[in-house]
Amino acid sequence: MLKPFVISCLLLGALTVQAQTKKASPARKPATPAKTAAAPATSPKNQSDSLSYAMGISVGQFLKAQGVEELNYEMLNKAISQTLKNDPTLFDINEAHAVMERYARSGMEKKLNAEKEKGRQFMEQNKKRTGVTETASGLQYEVLTAGQGPKPTHDASIRVHYSGKLLDGKEFDSSYSRGEPITISVAGVIAGWTEAVQLMPTGSKWRLYIPSELAYGDSGAGRDIPGGATLIFDVELLEITGQ
């Protein structure tokens, strides 16, 4: 269930966040005389003007970040005015929440479907490459180093080095970067890993191409892995630590 999208909360929240993170904003470059921006047509004349304009900037930045590209400003101003004056509004607050929730869900679905389609197209082309094997589940893998040791079972614990990337090449996790392999349970990881490592002889290094349904699904993981994302892992099976 999505949280209600309340404009008043967004105003206060956005203002607070911007105040707390101001130092993280990139410094503005000094404007050259030839590119000096023109002054606003109407400058704030009092505190009310300044507050109104500041809130407009804050809300505008938030809406832009949420992917809102167009609004009917006449309707927006009308609703704000009616609410502040306690005049009757076209929607009550619950109806307003429902409208915004539908919009948010629609936007999320578009992003999710686009991410899935990108993954589908990638996997369709990737499986045609020499050296890539696809299993019945849709997992694809490529043998980078062929090991000769035993294969772990579903109930085994293993020690591995790995790195994980999105299709655009962005790395979201890596034991190599941390300088230390990890020990995990074969059954305690995403489905694509669980399937793949049981096929790997110890000493192997494989590149795994894992569709979203075998990874983190529609929910994604944290801020770095979006919902519906197809993932690429390099996995090096160092040893079986327990069966």
Read off the pLDDT of residues 192-217 as tens digits, 9 standing for 90 and up: 999 999 999 999 999 999 999 999 99
Mean pLDDT over all residues of the chain?
84
pLDDT for residue 27 is more than 70: no
123-242: CATH architecture: Roll (3.10)
Active-site residue identified among 5, 103, 173, 176: 173
- Torsional class of 87: left (φ above 0), alpha (ψ -120 to 50), beta (otherwise): beta
**Is 209 part of the annotated catalytic residue set?**
no
The region of weakest confidence among 56-70, 122-136, 208-222, 227-241 is 56-70
Residue with more model confidence, 30 or 152: 152
Q: Which residue among 172, 176, 184, 218 is the active-site one?
A: 172
Q: Does residue 190 carry a catalytic annotation?
A: yes
Triad 65, 67, 69: Cα angle to 5°: 115
pLDDT-derived band at 36 (thresholds 50, 70, 90) equals: low
pLDDT of residue 17: 39
Residue of 62, 162, 209, 225 with catalytic role? 162
Distances (CA, A) of 110 to 116, 168, 195: 10, 19, 30
Catalytic residue among 53, 103, 190, 218: 190
CA dihedral 127, 128, 132, 134 (to 10 degrees): 40
Q: For the chain, what are the domain ranges?
A: 123-242
Q: Where are the alpha helices (DSSP H) in 66-197?
A: 73-84, 93-126, 175-178, 191-197
Kind and range of the H or E element at 172?
strand 171-174
- The torsion angles phi and psi of 242, rounded to 5 degrees, stand at -175, 145
- Say if CB 179 and CB 173 are below 8 A apart: no
Mean pLDDT value of segment 29-39: 48
Residue 141 falls in the annotated catalytic set = no
Q: How far apart are CA 137 and CA 143, in angstroms?
A: 18
Instruction: Pick the catalytic residue from 141, 216, 225, 232.
Output: 216
216 flagged as catalytic: yes
| pLDDT(136) > 90 | yes
Query: What mean pLDDT comes out for the span 150-168?
Result: 96
**If you average pLDDT over residues 46-52, what whole number do you get?**
89
Active site residue 62: no
**Is 57 an annotated catalytic residue?**
no
